[in-house]
Every structure is written in C-alpha cells, then in structure tokens.
Amino acid sequence: MNILDGGEGGGQLVRTALALSAVTGEPFRMRHVRRARANPGLQAQHCAAIEAVAAVCNAETGGVEVGSESFTFEPNEDIDEDADPADQGVLGGSVSVEVGTAGSVPLVFDALLPVAVALDESFTARLEGGTDAKWAPPFDYFRRVKLPVLQEHGLDADVTLNRRGFYPRGGGKATLTVEPSTLDAFDVTERGERESLTAYSVAEESESEDDVAERQAEPAPDAADVETEYVEADCSGSALVLAAEYEHSTAGFAELGEMGVEPETVGENAVERFEAFEDGDAAVDEYLADQLLPFVALAGGEVRAPEVTSHVETCIDLLAEFGYDVTVEDEGDTVLLSA
C-alpha cells in the first residue's frame, strides 16, 4: 500500500490520490490529511469524493469520517496492477451523494473526471451540496472553463445543473456523466488571439431587487458578452465567472459574492485578475493549471502556466508517488509544465 503524506496540501491531494488510485489500481493510505489547514482532517466534501470514487472502482475504504486525519482507499482487488491504465477494469455505474451543507459539488466532480481513462462503461454521479461555495471554483468555472478544455482533449463528459446551492446552506444539485475516454496529449503553450469574453453572473432570486447580478457584471470590459441569471436557492448568494476563450486555450476568473462586499467590487476583482493575465504570456490561468496536472500526467504534453503555486508543487509531488513524472521549466514570467 502506498503511504502518502497529506500534511503539506489541502483537499486537492485527497482528490488527486483518489483518481490516480482508481486509474492505476494502487491502494493507498493518506496520513496527516490537511494538517496545515485551520480545520485539519477530512471535511464533508472530501468524504463525499471518497464515496463517489469508491463507487466507480468498487473500492474498500477505512477511516472515512469528518475530522479524520488518516484514511485508506483500496480499489477493486481484481484490477491488474501490471496492465495499462486504460485496461484496468474500473467499473462505472452510478452513485448519488449528499456532499452536505455547502460542500463543493464541482470539487467532488474533479475527483471523478480523471477516472474516465480507465472506465469500462459510463459513470453517473448525482450530487447535492454547494454548487457555488467558498474556497472552491463556482459551478460556471467548472462548466464554462475547465470542462471545455478537457473535452477538447478527448474527455467525454457532460454536466447538468439541476439547482443552485450557495454558501452556507448549499442544497444545490448537479449531475455528472463520464464516458470511457482516451485523452489526447496536451499542447496548451500559446493562447493566441482572444475570440470571446463572457461574464456569467448569477444571484439568488431575492437579490434581483438590488440588481446584484447586473451590478456584478457591470465592471466587465466593453468587449464582454454578459449573461445574468436569478435562481431559486436555499439561501442568498451570488457568483461571477469571467470566461475568456482564445484560439488555443481558455482561462477563467471567478469571484463569489460576500456579505458586506458590494457587487461591483466582486466584478472588479475578477476583471483585475483577467487584465493581469492578459498582460502575461500564460496559456491558462493559475487555478486551471493545477487542475489540469493529473490529466497532463495521464496523457502527456505541455501546459504554460503563470507561476508555480503551492498547489502545483504539492500535486507534482503526489503524482510522483504514483509513478507520474511532471517537470517544471521556469521561462521568466511563465512556467512550462510537461509530462
């Protein structure tokens, strides 16, 4: 059993380890889970991710409860560890999981997407929790930025939003369907000319009285298309995603509305990060860079990122534990991630 140390990172290490274990058939035990965080140990969304990935590959788990700083994950023992990952025999099927309160639904989906390379049949996950939650990418970032990039590289997956769920009450519902997929090698080193820019602004329906969705999108550049929406949800909340599509890549800049923060400020923060990105030469934004790493490791290729974040560093170390080598080449104002 692979013994992993989760003390230097957060939930990303849990999600990535789950996906790689399902793909390779290699069991693991993770110790010191999220030890450096203010609330160490597994939280509800991490337990939900473990439950969902375990359902894909018929895994046995131990120590999975909120607050636990150590857990084990053992995929179906019938998987041939010497076989090619695409022939591992991960089952597929379906699962329904309540993430709990506003635990992030998109982050649980993140743990499932890489398993596509090893599926025998389609897999459907129906989740309930936070679609737009703190410390996680909003649903529209997952749907409008990350998923399209992966689909362009061979991932056969689709997502449906059934109901929004904002922090802190959640109650959102979404469904992810993943088909057996063969990924293409990544070549995301140049972004090319910008082809479109869209501001997706959403707010709970009671906030329409204050024009929250429109005010969030107001700071968007003149070139941006604006899509605003008011939705039913269990509590008030809002989110803005500024999605930029280029000739060869996509980047996103997301902000959540917060109590005491003017909607215009939410939009200004997203625009500020978008403008900083356009002033550089990276092909993807910093958050997408670390989320693409497991796929680059599995499929090979290169991605140009703005910088090496702590998430990138810890993810590269974890990938090495499963035998995947990702290198980082500093190229001045950007870094090249290669496998």
Hey, which residues are catalytic here?
Answer: 311
287 is an annotated ligand-binding site residue: yes
291 is an annotated ligand-binding site residue: yes
Instruction: Tell me the three-class secondary structure of the chain, residue by residue.
Output: CEEEECCCCCHHHHHHHHHHHHHHCCCEEEECCCCCCCCCCCCHHHHHHHHHHHHHHCCEEECCCCCCCEEEEECCCCCCCCCCHHHCCECCEEEEEECCCCCEHHHHHHHHHHHHHHECCCEEEEEEEECECCCCCCHHHHHHHHHHHHHHCCCCEEEEEEECCECCCECEEEEEEECCCCCCCEEECCCCCEEEEEEEEEEEHHHHHHCHHHHHHCCCCCCCEEEEEEECCCCCCEEEEEEEEECCCEEEEEEECCCCCCHHHHHHHHHHHHHHHHHCCCCCCHHHHHHHHHHHHHHCEEEEECCCCHHHHHHHHHHHHCCCCCEEEECCCCEEEEC
290 is an annotated ligand-binding site residue: yes
110 is an annotated ligand-binding site residue: yes
Give the residue ranges of the annotated binding site. Answer: 110, 287-291
Give the residue ranges of the annotated binding site for ATP. Answer: 110, 287-291
